Every structure is written in structure tokens, then in C-alpha cells.
């Protein structure tokens, strides 16, 4: 019998995909029918998925746009979490009885009892086909979106509105309206062309290039056990369906922390259905399909240390639940899953990191969700705010949120008289260690918290040449010799919203805190709240750049270290959440299932 560890990978060739003639004809027909202006040179028609054009025919379109409902859930939402992408093979082992079906639910292997390792191996595949466009901004209201489109069309004719999301319904009741309106421009074959267009909008917005899928991926996957008692060739993908609550699926070599300096590989175990299928990149991806609170049991300990006080963990559970429900239907629109398992959404680690304390935090807050003005809160959070949280609109695109406003992370904010948006005050703040929740100035801290002191204030240095290489790699622009980095705009917490990099070949401006953190580090700077000291030689040429910073993360919403300190000081989770999310209330929108 063959040994699964010695199987040879098969060579595959992924054909370069083009948009089919029939699909192009359909898209062009829709475009002409609605009255959109024709495409410019090398510009593609819009995707059929984005058929809400912004032009003089809006009144006619109004009746054709459905009032979408995301899904109707009888008790609580079931989520699809993408946790593996870009694999040639995926190995797994199932503990307990299971069935393997195709993607439509037709059985392939029924009622299997196997303790062997299994392998799914890519046999042949074609990746998805995309067009590229510019996401200029986003609006919550349709009227505002239409107005914005009409205004932007004077700058560039092919601007359109795209409705995403919809109503989230649980047990027959609408618990939230997740509808949003994206303002998109252009439709191109290449990302470079879309990036060039984005420069038209950069003075007033923070545009970014996005993809829109026009053709799905397809292919074949071979799946078999280590002794080859079971083997099959399956079209597009398959599902591992546990036949009991105790059954778990372990996957080997899961990439953890993609893009960050802690990136690694680990074996992870999951409950619920696991789906393996051809991804957009013509490689294998894996998806965990799971009830929301079971998902949260894998999120809370991955996002907050399990040794934190219970009230802090309960705060994390409610924030994480609210965050996922507020974003449901508006992320990963081109993917076969609702959320990823990385920091882009929320880190999800399956059952591997579950603990009694974090499970208890989820169970004690089952169904509890943050609301503001009858809308579920997008309850984002960061590791260490650095002593002051940030306005949401300074970090992400609109709409603004009244409950996500920047404030000093202390019970006595009037003790500070600094304007952190100003350079002088920002430097004073960063070079000090003020008495705020996340400063961890207390002497009697538990070890799990005292370890985090290094994130409150930090420092990193680069030789000039090293930083030049980083900027070139991370932005794609060769600035030549780096002369200076000029802060242009700071938010209320001192985080930089815009910088200008001065070089011998070109100057470049970078907007938004995550873009700034990415451009100046091999991975990411810990935060955009920093000042820069430059070491120069005898004739004034920069030799080294030192970044002195505050906090870890974007700083919007709950500060996790601050929440832990508040919990240590006997503050309950409801009051912790009200501190970080202004004027909110907690509602239980679904109940735990009966035993």
C-alpha cells in the first residue's frame, strides 16, 4: 500500500483564462441597454455582478434593484470561514464518523470510519477571471451614493454604484441592514491600469484597486486515504461532513499570520463541515462551515490571550460577534467564503487554541451583540491603542460611525491637554509614558499583561539603503536616494493619515494608516502613531532613520490591553464596552440552542 507521505505531486499547468465571448457580449449588451458610455481604450465593460450603473437612468433602475436579504437563519447564523488558500495539496485526518460529498451534497463516500491520513491533490484547474476597478469610496445611503456618483462622473465618466450586503434575518426578524453602496470607477484587464486611474481620485479620497470576478474557477481534485482504500476524482471540490458533534477534522500545514513577522505553519483542528475546493488562483482552498458561536470559540483565544480576566474576554466575545455580524455579506465578495481566518477579518484558529476560560466567555454572552441607533456596531478593536483611540473615518473609508470616535484611554481624560494631531504634541506624547489604561504602569500586573509593556511604546531603526529597498519592494516605486519622510496629517490619536516621501528620483504621498505602516516595514510597523529621527552624515545626507512609536494596531474601537486592565480593576464587561464604543447598548439577538 502506498504511504501518503511519499506520494509525488503531479505537475499541473494552469491555463491563462480570458473572459468568454458570450460573457463579454452579455456585459456589453447590459452596458448599452442601461445607457452607460462605452469603454475607453483597453478598458473592459463592467462586471454583470456590478450592474447598478450611475447615470441618467437611475430612476428606471430603482425598480430593478432587489431589496436583498443575505440569508434567513432559523436560530443563529452559519458562517463560512476561509482558512487555507494557495495549496497544491491539502492533507487531513478525521476523528469520528464522516461522509464526503461533492459541492452539491451528493455522497461520494458515506459513513466512513477512518483513522488514516487523507490527501486532496490538485489534478488540473483553471483560475477565476477578474477585471480590475477603483473603489473610490463607500456610502451607507443610496441617495448619498447617487449624488457622489453624479459628482465624480464630471471627473471620470465611467463611475458607477454597486450595492453590496443586504438584510440579515434571524428567526424571521431582521436584526441588521448590512446594505452598503460602493462607488467604483473603470473596468480594466490589469491591476496596473486601474492603479493609474486611482490617481485621479487621490486628492479627495483614499482609493484602492479591487477585483471583480467575471468567471469562476474550475478543475478536478483527487482525494484518497493513505492506503488507497478510498479514492475518487471530484469536480471543483468536496465537503467533509461530520456525522456527530464530537467529530473533528485536523488539517496539516495551515499557514498562520500571513504577511506578518510571526508567519508560520501549524496543524489545526476544526469542528463542523470542512470544504476543500478550487480557489480563485487555481489552487486548493479550505473552508470551515460553522455556527457563529462555535466560530467565536476559535476567535476569542486567537485575538486575546486566554489568561486575561474573564470580563475582558467577555468584552472580546461581544465585540467579535458584533464585528462579524455587522460585516456579514460585505467582505470577500469574490471568494466562496464569508470571512478569512486572518487579521484581515478576525483570526480564527479552530479548536486548537480553545480554552475553558475563553469558551466560558462566549457561552456567558451567547447571542449578545452591540447596537447603536438600532444598527449592529462594527465593533473593531486593536491590541494596544497607545493611550488614545482613533476616529474610524481616519483609518477606513466612510461612512463614519458615531460610536467609533477617538478618546483618551483613561477614566480621567481631562488630565491631558495635548492636541495629538500637531507634531509638537504628538512627539511629546510618544516620548512620554502617560498614565492610561494600556500603559501598564501598575506594579502588580500578571505575567500575561506585563509582557505587553513593550507594545505601548516601541522603536525601530533602519539604515537608509535598507529603508529605500523596503519602500521600493512595498510600494513598487523606486524613489532613488531617500532624503526625508514628511508627516502631512495626523489623526486625533497622533496616528499619521498622510505622509510624503522625498527621494532623488521622485516624491510620493501615501494616505491611510495601514498603507503607511506597510510602506515603511518588511511586514508592518506596529502602528502609524510615530515620529522619525534622522541621522545624517557630515554633509547632511541621511544615513539612518529611527521610528519611535506608540501602540500596536489601528487604534479604533476597543483597546484589548486597556480592556484587560479595566477588568483587573473590577470593571464589568458591559461598562468596558460602553467606554470604548460610545452610547451603545447590548442586545441578545438569538438564544442558545436547547440541549
Check whether 35 has a pLDDT greater than 90: no
Those residues with Cβ within 8 angstroms of residue 424's Cβ, 6 or more apart along the chain or in another chain: none
191-205, 210-224, 302-316: which has the minimum mean pLDDT?
191-205
Cis peptide before 240 (omega within 30 of 0): no
- Please state, rounded to an integer, the average pLDDT across all residues of the chain: 88
Grid coordinates of 3? 504511504
Residue 16: strand, helix, or coil: coil
Spell out the residues 6+ positions from residue 296 whose beta carbon is closer than 8 angstroms to its own: 317, 320, 321, 362
Sheet holding 457-463, edge to edge: 457-463, 542-550, 530-536
Confidence of residue 67 (pLDDT cuts 50, 70, 90): low
Least confident of 2-6, 132-136, 211-215, 354-358: 2-6
The pLDDT-based confidence of 19 (bands split at 50, 70, 90) is: very low
Q: How confident is the model at residue 13 (pLDDT cuts 50, 70, 90)?
A: very low
**Per-residue pLDDT tens digits for 314-355:** 999 999 999 999 999 999 999 999 999 998 999 999 999 999
Paired residues of 405 in beta bridges: none
Which burial class, exposed, middle or buried, applies to 581 when counting CB atoms under 10 A from its CB (0-12, 13-18, 19+)?
A: buried
Between CA 266 and CA 259 the distance in angstroms is 15
Pairing relation of β-strands 118-126 and 89-95? antiparallel
DSSP string, 552-563: BS---SEEHHHH
- What confidence score (pLDDT) does residue 450 get? 84
pLDDT tens digits for 479-506?
999 999 999 999 999 999 999 999 999 9
Q: What pLDDT, on a 0 to 100 scale, did the predictor assign at position 261?
A: 60
User: What is the average per-residue pLDDT within 397-417?
Assistant: 89
List the beta strands (DSSP E) in 55-179.
69-73, 78-87, 89-95, 98-102, 107-112, 118-126, 129-139, 159-164, 167-170, 173-177
> In the prediction, which pLDDT does 74 show?
84
Dihedral sign of CA atoms 337, 340, 346, 351 in order = positive
Q: Is the pLDDT of residue 31 over 90?
A: no
Q: What are phi and psi of 565, to 5 degrees?
A: -65, -40
Of 512, 543, 548, the C-alpha closest to 531 is 548
The CA distance from 221 to 216, in Å, is 16
pLDDT in tens, 430-463: 999 999 999 998 878 888 888 889 999 999 999 9
Cα dihedral: 461, 347, 213, 157 (round 10)? -60
Q: Which domains does the chain have, with CATH numbers?
A: 21-66+129-214 (3.30.70.1070), 78-127+217-368 (no CATH), 381-556 (no CATH)
Whether the CB-CB separation of 271 and 318 falls below 8 Å is answered with no
Q: 210: which 3 cell numbers?
A: 479591487
Q: Half-sphere exposure of residue 372, counting CA atoms within 13 Å on the CB side?
A: 19
- Which H or E run includes 487? strand 482-490
Closest by Cα among 220, 214, 22 to 128? 214
Amino acid at each position: 500500500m502506498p504511504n501518503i507521505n511519499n506520494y509525488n505531486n503531479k505537475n499541473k499547468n494552469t491555463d491563462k483564462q480570458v473572459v468568454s465571448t458570450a460573457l463579454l457580449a452579455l456585459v456589453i449588451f447590459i452596458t448599452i441597454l442601461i445607457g452607460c458610455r462605452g469603454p475607453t481604450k483597453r478598458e473592459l465593460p463592467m462586471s454583470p455582478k456590478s450592474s447598478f450603473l450611475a447615470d441618467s437612468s437611475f430612476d428606471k433602475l430603482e425598480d430593478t434593484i432587489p431589496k436583498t436579504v443575505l440569508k434567513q437563519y432559523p436560530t443563529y447564523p452559519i458562517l463560512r470561514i476561509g482558512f487555507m488558500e494557495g495549496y497544491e495539496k491539502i492533507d487531513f485526518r478525521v476523528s469520528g464518523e464522516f461522509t464526503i460529498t461533492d459541492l452539491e451534497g451528493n455522497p461520494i463516500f458515506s459513513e466512513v470510519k477512518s483513522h488514516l491520513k487523507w490527501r486532496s491533490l490538485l489534478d488540473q484547474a483553471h483560475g477565476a477571471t477578474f477585471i480590475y476597478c477603483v473603489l473610490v469610496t463607500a456610502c451607507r445611503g443610496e441617495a448619498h451614493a447617487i449624488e457622489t456618483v453624479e459628482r465624480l462622473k464630471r471627473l471620470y465618466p465611467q463611475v458607477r454604484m454597486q450595492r453590496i450586503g443586504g438584510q440579515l434575518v434571524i428567526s424571521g426578524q431582521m436584526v441588521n441592514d448590512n446594505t452598503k453602496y460602493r462607488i467604483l470607477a473603470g473596468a480594466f484587464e490589469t491591476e496596473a491600469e486601474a492603479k493609474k486611474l486611482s490617481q485621479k481620485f487621490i486628492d479627495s479620497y483614499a482609493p484602492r484597486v479591487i477585483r471583480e470576478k467575471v468567471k469562476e474557477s474550475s478543475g478536478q481534485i483527487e482525494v484518497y486515504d493513505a492506503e488507497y482504500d478510498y479514492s475518487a476524482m471530484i469536480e471543483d471540490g468536496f465537503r467533509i461532513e461530520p456525522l456527530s458533534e464530537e467529530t473533528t477534522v485536523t488539517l496539516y500545514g495551515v499557514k498562520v499570520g500571513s504577511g506578518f513577522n510571526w508567519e508560520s505553519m501549524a496543524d489545526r483542528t476544526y469542528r463542523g463541515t470542512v470544504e476543500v475546493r478550487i480557489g480563485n488562483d487555481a489552487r486548493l482552498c479550505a473552508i470551515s462551515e460553522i455556527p457563529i458561536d462555535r466560530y467565536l470559540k476559535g476567535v476569542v483565544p486567537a485575538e486575546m490571550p486566554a489568561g486575561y480576566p474573564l470580563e475582558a474576554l467577555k468584552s472580546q466575545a461581544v465585540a467579535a460577534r458584533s464585528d462579524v455580524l455587522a460585516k456579514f455579506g460585505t467582505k470577500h465578495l469574490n471568494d466562496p467564503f464569508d470571512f478569512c481566518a486572518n487579521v484581515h477579518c478576525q483570526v480564527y484558529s479552530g479548536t486548537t487554541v480553545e480554552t475553558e476560560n475563553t469558551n466560558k466567555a462566549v457561552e456567558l454572552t451567547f447571542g449578545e451583540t452591540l447596537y447603536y441607533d438600532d444598527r449592529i456596531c462594527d465593533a473593531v478593536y486593536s491590541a494596544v491603542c497607545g493611550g488614545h483611540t482613533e476616529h474610524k473615518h481616519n483609518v477606513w473609508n466612510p461612512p463614519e460611525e458615531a460610536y467609533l470616535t477617538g478618546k483618551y484611554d483613561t477614566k480621567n481624560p481631562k488630565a491631558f491637554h495635548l492636541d495629538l494631531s500637531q507634531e509638537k504634541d504628538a512627539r511629546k506624547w510618544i516620548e512620554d509614558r502617560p498614565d492610561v489604561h494600556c500603559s501598564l504602569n501598575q506594579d502588580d500586573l500578571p505575567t500575561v499583561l506585563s509582557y505587553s509593556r513593550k507594545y505601548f511604546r516601541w522603536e525601530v531603526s533602519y539604515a537608509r539603503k535598507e529603508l529605500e529597498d523596503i519602500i521600493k519592494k512595498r510600494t513598487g516605486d523606486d524613489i532613488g536616494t531617500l532624503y526625508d519622510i514628511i508627516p502631512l496629517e495626523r489623526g486625533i490619536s497622533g496616528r499619521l493619515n498622510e505622509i510624503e516621501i522625498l527621494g532623488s528620483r521622485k516624491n510620493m504621498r501615501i494616505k491611510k494608516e495601514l498603507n503607511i505602516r506597510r510602506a515603511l516595514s518588511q511586514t508592518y510597523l506596529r502602528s502609524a502613531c510615530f515620529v522619525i529621527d534622522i541621522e545624517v552624515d557630515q554633509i547632511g545626507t541621511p544615513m539612518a532613520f529611527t521610528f519611535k512609536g506608540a501602540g500596536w494596531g489601528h487604534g479604533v474601537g476597543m483597546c484589548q490591553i486597556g480592556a484587560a486592565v479595566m477588568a483587573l480593576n473590577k470593571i464589568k464587561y458591559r461598562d468596558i464596552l460602553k467606554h470604548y464604543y460610545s452610547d451603545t447598548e447590548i442586545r441578545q439577538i438569538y438564544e442558545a440552542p436547547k440541549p
